Structure 1
Amino acid sequence: MASADEADETDLGERIDILLVEPNPGDTRLFEENFRDAKLMNAVHAVTDGEEALDFLHQRGEYADAPRPDLVLLELQLPGTSGTAVLSELQNEPPLDEIRVIVLTSSEMGEEIVRSHDIEADEYIRKPVQAEEFIAFVQEVEDFWFAIVKNESDD
């Protein structure tokens, strides 16, 4: 379900693949539209549950040819395999443990829930509730991504 113009590039001239793990189709549409409008990256791949996310990340089944994402936006409340289980697997399996993960939380409790399982995400961002909030959300993701790229280029 990739949706973005393959020719777009970021200001840094890099291709950024984002895996969005989001069960709500309306939220997925808002994420995709706002990322496309922000021209943050050139590919958003969306899946709706934990099993699909793991298949995508492990590049198996229908996702055998999927790119390894640079960034995962992970909703914790997923049908089937939970977001915390996906995050745990990401952290415990090389080379998946190198993928940056932003956990999308509906409340401040989300971060506490993740940490209570002795796992950690790279960032926690409160999921937008109103359509207008998605613009600020996209800016937070963009700031996070560019901070990572800058830190890696400084090393």
Structure 2
Amino acid sequence: MKTSKIILLVEDDPNDRFLFTRAAQKAGITDPVQSASDGQEAIDYLTGSGPFSDRLRYPLPDLVVLDLKLPLATGFEVLSAARQHPVTRHVPVVMLTSSQSEADITQAHALGANAYLVKPPSPEELLNLVRSIKDFWLAQNRSPKLGVHSAPASH
């Protein structure tokens, strides 16, 4: 039985990747945070394409933390690809971006984002946000088991 919880952080800014990873460690997330630095790399990771076909080395994430503004493919394109792929369609996706645009928030939710969070301005606030992500998305939230398809329960 899988006990580790894998986060895929999709972020092109190396400073933001470092800050998130450090906050994750301080928040007690013991599993390494997997990362993708552009949208196409994220799509390849999620779909198990190319170098990411080795799922022992690149396990399916339990949570995707996704920036919006990315090179090669936008966060919207990554989200859309994740929702269209049968293996990743139910993996929770939390948008973590600097955009506060209502249009971006609406589009992210329309494409299937589970949450839309704005990057906090300080490392302390980021740590609090990562703790919240850990407590809810990794500890309390229950997602369908990947690859398991079942009929709805009858009442």
* TM category, shorter: 0.7 to 0.9
Moved more, 131-140 or 27-36: 131-140
CA distance in 2, matches of 1:21, 1:85: 12
Q: Which consecutive segments of 4 or more residues in structure 1 shift more than 3 A? A: none
Corresponding residue for 1:54? Answer: 43
Closer, same or farther: CA 116–134 of 1 in aligned 2, 3 Å? closer
1:132 counterpart = 2:124: yes
Moved more, 20-29 or 129-138: 129-138
Q: Check conservation: 1:17, 1:41, Cα contact below 8 A.
A: no
CA displacement 1:4-37 (0-9 Å, x = unmatched): xxxxxxxxx9200100000100110111111112
CA distance in 2, matches of 1:40, 1:57: 21
Gap runs ≥5 in structure 2: 145-152
Gap runs ≥5 in structure 1: 1-12
Q: Note the C-alpha offset of 1:107.
A: 3.6
Corresponding residue for 1:148? Answer: 141
Corresponding residue for 1:87? Answer: 79
SS in 1 for 2:33: strand
Select which of 106, 113, 123 maps to 2:98.
106
Higher relative contact order, structure no. (Cα contacts within 8 Å, ≥ 6 residues apart): 2
Q: Note the C-alpha offset of 1:143.
A: 2.8
CA distance in 1, matches of 2:53, 2:129: 30
**Partner AA of 1:23 in structure 2:** D
Q: Check conservation: 1:51, 1:81, Cα contact below 8 A.
A: yes
TM-score, normalised to structure 1, is 0.80
- What percentage of residue pairs aligned between the two structures are identical? 35
Alignment: residue pair count: 139
Q: Note the C-alpha offset of 1:128.
A: 2.2
TM-score, normalised to structure 2, is 0.80
CA displacement 1:22-64 (0-9 Å, x = unmatched): 0100110111111112222412001110010011111122222
CA distance in 2, matches of 1:41, 1:88: 29
Closer, same or farther: CA 124–61 of 1 in aligned 2, 3 Å? same
**Partner AA of 1:22 in structure 2:** E
